[in-house]
Structure 1
């Protein structure tokens, strides 16, 4: 009897340990267009800083993360240090967190100065960086903020390459030269081995954390892109304007990215936790031909809703993880977020330039190619709360719901239980109607402002015909509608 009691206590102890183990963010089993975290379905929606929160030594990430959490944002994106930018000269951004002041960049490798030039020792890691990274990740975890860990970025100009840690001229013990356009290929000489060692180091340092996923490279098509689609209705894809065409990464890039993804998977094989990997495919929109088995998140920049619609069949999260280059008005990015998420997207990140050194609470006024503000984040919170009010295990785009909306752009999600979340944008007409193909029954209908969150309850309506017409008045040029089947 005594032995049985001890055995029971031992079993209880190990069961407690087992149940107490946490697991990283994963794709939602029942609906892999969304995430699962801490046992709950999750969409990621945020307006976050320009990726320098860890590597910029002047940036107060504590205030920043607490601001995100307080304002209802659940996600941020960081660059890890293989790329950072030049103060006051990068992409027309006056206050740029990704461009630390001279001497304030904190990156993974130890460095020294030789003849006025900074040299990086890729065989020796900077403990201060990893302590800062761990503290950032721990605080984000305590606030339930998911972190997109972007390992590499395209190196856009010769000027950026001159100061980049991957350049052989800036690496201790390296000789010769390397074309920056080959840095992220398997034809980069000894750099490939160094890159893989760096990846293995990060994988081990981060393995204990649940609140992140990896992204291989930011905008890989910018290294040597191959144009695949024109979006200016010209059917000519080799024009000089990047905003008129969609570029894919070429095969050299794709082979290298697969090598990096495989390195992550192999290193995690013998570690306790396995983390998702994202891949960044193009700007705007594109129907992808093939996606690696290692990839769970398909990311686009400056997204169109079609990128979610066209790739929904991949059964992965489709992400919009960088906005911008469309002015500073909140309206632009609010409408982008709503239209994309209601097309089936599972991740949205507005590149928010109101966060910078000295304005980590997101109240700054910046000169930049994008927007961001406290009011905008409150508007994203409205979207996030409405998305999470749905049963994400069953949610899908409701493309057949609205078959007529004169003068109005429309998109909708089906909640899997006969209810819908609808979003409308005035496109020539504010007072109009939407014609819906809806199953007869009793429905509660609410009009919701995407700007203020104000709800106008229309009460319960008995719909007796499948062709239902609802009159709408888009006073603010936009309207959300929640229809709940009783």
Structure 2
């Protein structure tokens, strides 16, 4: 007991200083200066790991994000992904039980103020896209403070494509839902450079959000969720990146910017120089990390799911992705809803997983990696030459000093009979 106390004291005494700006404020999360495949936050090398709610914590007034953050912190998880409120979903979208992105009537909040004119969507007044809703800005700032107090970094996703006509029908940027008649366009053209009035609103909204959130160190911005759907153009995305950069040009500290690249895997070509995080979805296997490792930037998996509800699917996916060299993992956790902000819903029918047990397992993964000097390590796919019976293997290594090796039973992206598959492989190991 005495040795443990002395060790804890020595670690505190010699802890790395927290990075601060010239004005004494904490510097926002950044790429680690010695290895830009990872983050630095509050003076420490950082990997972001979470099992997060379905992105409605901010825009859904019925969601208690304080209880949600307490649950993440309890398992040592340090990340969440939040949609800004420029997009929402209808109840029943994607077959999600108690979808947090589908607030009840009167419980949706966005950056834009409501007008006095009656509207169509949910029977509420139309939006005034030229005016801001002070309540939204109060809520987003409180959300960021509560997350900060619990050591949680927030990815604020500014926009999302309209996946179908029903989603576009309820969007504030659709002409039928605002007083200006802006957005009288096909949904596939909502995020292009074709319509100057709509683009001006999107840029003004981006600038306003970035201006208001300058002070927060536990924040980075993602331009658009899944821009490879719904007609989103790369030129439009780059225009939003430019708006963030131009807004922050006189800030003492600047926030990281993320772009969502693809489902599965894709080679990033001609990246915007201001983008530091390249996020992918549904990375099974995680070969997109190796494909893009030469960017010398963070490669993340900020969404996965749709594989079934079993914890083993997402536990193995998380270990594989991070030991392949990724620095960010976020599982869609459907056990979190407005009625269950601590993640206790178990009988959901949603197309994915999430449970307290999975969060516990991801906490173990985060603690395991934090036990290494991982900024000195690199993925090494050739260290393990062969395994019998066949296993999937991932390795992070600092040659001659430290090796983190993960083995798991090979699993398809969407196994049809997971129990039989696992039982067969266990028997194979037993026979050997």
Q: TM-score, normalised by structure 2?
A: 0.87
Q: Distance in 1 between matches of 2:219 and 2:398?
A: 27
Q: Secondary structure at the match of 1:402?
A: coil
Change in CA separation of 1:57 and 1:477 when aligned onto 2, cut-off 3 Å: farther
Residue pairs, 1:295-306, within 5 angstroms: 295-304=275-284, 305-306=286-287
Q: Distance in 1 between matches of 2:230 and 2:67?
A: 35
List 4+ stretches of structure 1 deviating above 6 A.
Answer: 474-478
Change in CA separation of 1:476 and 1:115 when aligned onto 2, cut-off 3 Å: farther
Change in CA separation of 1:340 and 1:222 when aligned onto 2, cut-off 3 Å: same
* Contact 1:425 1:477 (C-alpha < 8 Å) held by counterparts: no
* Contact 1:362 1:374 (C-alpha < 8 Å) held by counterparts: yes
Which residue number corresponds to residue 451 of structure 1? Answer: none
* Contact 1:34 1:317 (C-alpha < 8 Å) held by counterparts: yes
Which residue number corresponds to residue 396 of structure 1? Answer: 378
Shift, 1:292, TM fit = 1.1
Give the count of matched residue pairs. Answer: 390
Taking only aligned residues, the RMSD between alpha carbons, in angstroms, comes to 1.9
Which residue number corresponds to residue 108 of structure 1? Answer: 111
Which residue number corresponds to residue 368 of structure 2? Answer: 386
Q: Secondary structure at the match of 2:101?
A: coil
* Contact 1:207 1:272 (C-alpha < 8 Å) held by counterparts: no
Which residue number corresponds to residue 353 of structure 2? Answer: 371
Q: Which moved more, 1:393-402 or 1:33-42?
A: 393-402
Q: Which has the larger radius of gyration?
A: 1
Shift, 1:82, TM fit = 0.7
Which residue number corresponds to residue 417 of structure 2? Answer: none
* 1:442-464 superposed Cα distances (whole Å, 9 cap, x missing partner): xxxxxxxxxxxxxxxxxxxxxxx
Shift, 1:417, TM fit = 5.1
Which residue number corresponds to residue 357 of structure 1? Answer: 338
Q: Distance in 2 between matches of 1:426 and 1:123?
A: 54
Q: Distance in 2 between matches of 1:222 and 1:208?
A: 33
Shift, 1:411, TM fit = 1.0
Residue pairs, 1:25-424, within 5 angstroms: 25-87=29-91, 89-112=92-115, 114-117=117-120, 118-174=125-181, 177-224=184-231, 253-304=233-284, 305-365=286-346, 366-406=348-388, 407-415=390-398, 418-424=401-407
Indicate the structure with greater strand content: 1
Which residue number corresponds to residue 408 of structure 2? Answer: 425
Shift, 1:20, TM fit = 3.8
Q: TM-score, normalised by structure 1?
A: 0.77
Consecutive unaligned residues of structure 2, counting only runs of 5 or more, are 1-19, 412-424
Q: Secondary structure at the match of 1:265?
A: helix
Instruction: Tell me which of the two structures has the higher relative contact order, counting C-alpha pairs closer than 8 angstroms and 6 or more residues apart.
Output: 2
Q: Distance in 2 between matches of 1:301 and 1:260?
A: 21
Q: Secondary structure at the match of 1:319?
A: strand
Change in CA separation of 1:166 and 1:390 when aligned onto 2, cut-off 3 Å: same
Q: Secondary structure at the match of 2:353?
A: coil
Q: Secondary structure at the match of 1:309?
A: helix
Q: Distance in 1 between matches of 2:248 and 2:149?
A: 23
Q: Distance in 1 between matches of 2:427 and 2:321?
A: 19
Consecutive unaligned residues of structure 1, counting only runs of 5 or more, are 1-15, 225-248, 429-473, 479-486
* Contact 2:119 2:177 (C-alpha < 8 Å) held by counterparts: no
* Contact 2:21 2:252 (C-alpha < 8 Å) held by counterparts: no
